[in-house]
Amino acid sequence: MRQLLALCALTSLAIGAQAQALPPLLQADGALNPAWRFVGFPKKHADLPATRFEAARVDGEAALKVSTASSYGTLVHDLKDAAAAPPTQLNWRWRLDTPLSGGKAPPDLLSKAGDDAALKVCVMFDHPLERVPFLERTVLRIARSVSGEALPAATLCYVWDSASPAPLQGANPYTRRVRFISLQGQGAPLARWVNESRDVAQDFITLFGDELPQGAQAPRRAVPAVSTVLIGADSDNTASRSTGWVADLQWAAGTP
């Protein structure tokens, strides 16, 4: 059941869109941009605290503040008006002021008991269902039926890990439909902005290459369309707390 919830909680999504310009996280007046919407766990878990996403200032700079307290939540933007080009370079800045701490269990991205992240930026793909292994495809179909949502068949998350040194790659312990790369980890400097730039198509090939057509001469062309970009943070499994920031999330200049 937790596997189904993990899929359902990702988002209520519009599948079938493609990489395009992302709206700013904050409006010109400094408020949260309504183009980004909050998505939490399904209603049956309404008692679970929500991760807080706030427009705030840090060191005199306006940015998105992300705070957890035994909570779960994502800030989601669904891409629409599909274009023809594949996803490419995604840029953003983030900083972690307080790593996951004070919890009942240590964070551990590879275990169910510790599967929490103080910050993550995720990209969801319109991955063809026929490429998914049979058992996982069956679970995904059930999850789609239960949730009534077109849940994604492939999600790639970039994570700021509070427990292990970066880089770490793997699959979410609840579902292999979500795979991750930790870009920052234990020992990374706190309360300091870090710039990130990722070729999401290449990262998809790295993490989901086992599900691309065998023998493809141009694997980048087989990378599916991006449907959704989200920012997330959760501390519900470890009952811990964290505080971080995200800014300037955007496709690189000149890419779709």
Residues 6+ apart with CB under 8 A from 36: 23, 25, 53, 75, 76, 77, 231
Degrees to nearest 5, angle at CA 11 with 99 and 108:
30
- Tokens representing 81? 């008006």
Evaluate if residue 21 carries a pLDDT over 90: no
**Tokens 């449907």 -> residue:** 227
Q: Please, which pLDDT band fits residue 20 given cuts at 50, 70 and 90?
A: low
Give yes or no for a contact between 114 and 106, defined as CB atoms under 8 angstroms apart.
yes
Q: Look up the pTM and report it.
A: 0.88
Quick: pLDDT tens for 156-181: 999 999 899 999 999 999 999 999 99
Write down the mean pLDDT value for the chain: 86
Q: Please, which pLDDT band fits residue 75 given cuts at 50, 70 and 90?
A: very high
Quick: pLDDT tens for 103-162: 888 899 999 999 999 999 999 998 988 898 888 888 888 888 887 677 888 999 999 998
- 108-104-242-97 Cα dihedral, nearest 10 degrees: -80
Evaluate if residue 69 carries a pLDDT over 90: yes
14-18, 101-105, 252-256: least confidently modelled range = 14-18
DSSP letter (8 states) at residue 108: -
- Tokens representing 220? 């980048």
